[in-house]
Amino acid sequence: MQCPKETQVELKDGALFAGPKAKCCPDCGGAWIPPEHYLDWQDRNRIGFEEDPTVEVLPSAAPITFDPPPLDNRAALCPDCKHYLVRGRVNLRNTSFFVERCPNCKGYWCDGGEWSILEKLRLHTHLEHIFSDLWQAKVKALEASERERQATVDKLGPEIAAKIFELAELLENHPNGDFGVAYLMRRFEE
Ligand SMILES: [Zn+2]
Ligand SMILES: [Zn+2]
């Protein structure tokens, strides 16, 4: 089996750090994770599939720096069944990279270094999330709300911003919270 990014290089049997058995490229450090190995590993760790992605593994919350490997952007074929690999975006604070999956056999490809980042993000146990529309929508929503929060801090300073976040939470959790919101809006309408 050849490296999908460098078809002249033969993949070798190996394993990912604290992860499943994989076919590893001795040149670029990428790894092909055959679907049966991934599912086995998930089962053995009793992680299994979760229907709903959980917010705590959302990647944008993690302050991790990473330079995506140069081969990350290269389109590639499944080293096993030769279908085009589909890319799933993982966003970090200042960059993003792609995990790849074969749409046919469901094997995964991680370029060199990507698995250890996924492990730090605790996304390594949920690779299927990266390829789900629901997951990607939640990532976008979380990022938008983080940007809005940051903009509030920038405009009003950390002290007032903290008060506003606290007030927003109080109103959100109060059964008549909308009265408070209406009051504030009236105050600023004039
Ligand atoms: Zn390679
Ligand atoms: Zn395949």
171 within some domain: yes
Q: What is the pLDDT of residue 123?
A: 85
Is the pLDDT score of 164 beyond 90? yes
131, 161, 179 - which closes a domain: 131
In this structure, the answer to whether residues 55 and 91 fall within a common structural domain is yes
Which tens digit of pLDDT belongs to each residue from 6-25? Answer: 999 999 999 999 899 999 99
The whole-angstrom separation of Cα 82 and Cα 143 is: 35
| Ligand nearest, relative to CA of residue 3 | 1
CA distance 71 to 78: 15
Tell how far the Cα of 25 is from the centroid of ligand 1, in angstroms.
Answer: 5
Question: Residue 83: pLDDT above 80?
Answer: yes
For the ranges 4-8, 89-93, 145-149, the maximum mean pLDDT occurs at 4-8
For residue 153, the model assigns a pLDDT of: 96
Q: Give me the domain span that covers residue 154.
A: 147-189
Which band of pLDDT confidence, cut at 50, 70 and 90, is reported for residue 59? low
In the reported structure, the alpha carbon of residue 31 is separated from the centroid of ligand 1 by a whole-number distance in angstroms of 8
Q: Ligand 2 mean position to 173 CA, how many Å?
A: 48
Q: Is the same domain home to 178 and 122?
A: no
Task: Give the burial class of 25: count Cβ atoms within 10 A of its Cβ; 0-12 exposed, 13-18 middle, 19 or more buried.
Answer: buried
Ligand sitting nearest the alpha carbon of 24: 1
The DSSP 8-state label assigned to residue 60 in this structure reads: G
In a domain, 140, yes or no: no
Kindly state whether residue 142 falls inside one of the protein's structural domains: no
pLDDT, mean over the chain: 88
User: Rounded to an integer, what distance in angstroms lies between the CA atom of residue 60 and that of residue 161?
Assistant: 21
Residue 60 has a pLDDT of 54
Given pLDDT bands bounded at 50, 70 and 90, which one contains residue 51? low
What secondary structure, in 3-state letters, does 61-100 show? Answer: HCCCCCCCCHHHHCCCECCCCCCECEEEEEECCCCEEEEE
Residue 146: pLDDT over 60? yes
39 and 64 both lie in a single domain:
yes
Looking at the chain, the whole-number percentage of residues with pLDDT higher than 70 is: 91
Cβ 18 vs Cβ 43: under 8 Å? no
pLDDT at position 145: 85
CA of 32 to the centre of ligand 1 (A): 10
Local structure of residue 45 (DSSP, 8 states): T
DSSP 51: S
What is the predicted pLDDT for the residue at 56? 52
- List the structure tokens of 124: 């390594």
* pLDDT confidence of residue 65: 79
Task: Give one DSSP letter per residue of 1-44, joined into a string.
Answer: -B-SS-TTSBPEEEE-TTS-EEEE-TTT--EEE-HHHHHHHHHH
Residue 109 falls inside a structural domain: yes
Q: What is the pLDDT of residues 95-113, one digit of tens each?
A: 889 999 999 999 999 999 9
Q: How remote is the CA of residue 187 from the centroid of ligand 2, in Å?
A: 60
Write out the two tokens for 5.
Answer: 């990014």
Whether residue 137 is contained in a domain is answered as: no
Residues in the chain: 190
- Separation between Cα atoms, residue 153 and residue 156, nearest integer Å: 5
Q: Which two tokens stand for residue 92?
A: 């970090």
* More confident call, 2 vs 129: 2
Read off the pTM.
0.78
Phi (first) and psi of residue 32, to 5 degrees:
-95, 125
Distance 17 CA to ligand 2 centre (A): 23
- Residues 111 and 44 placed together within one structural domain of the fold: yes
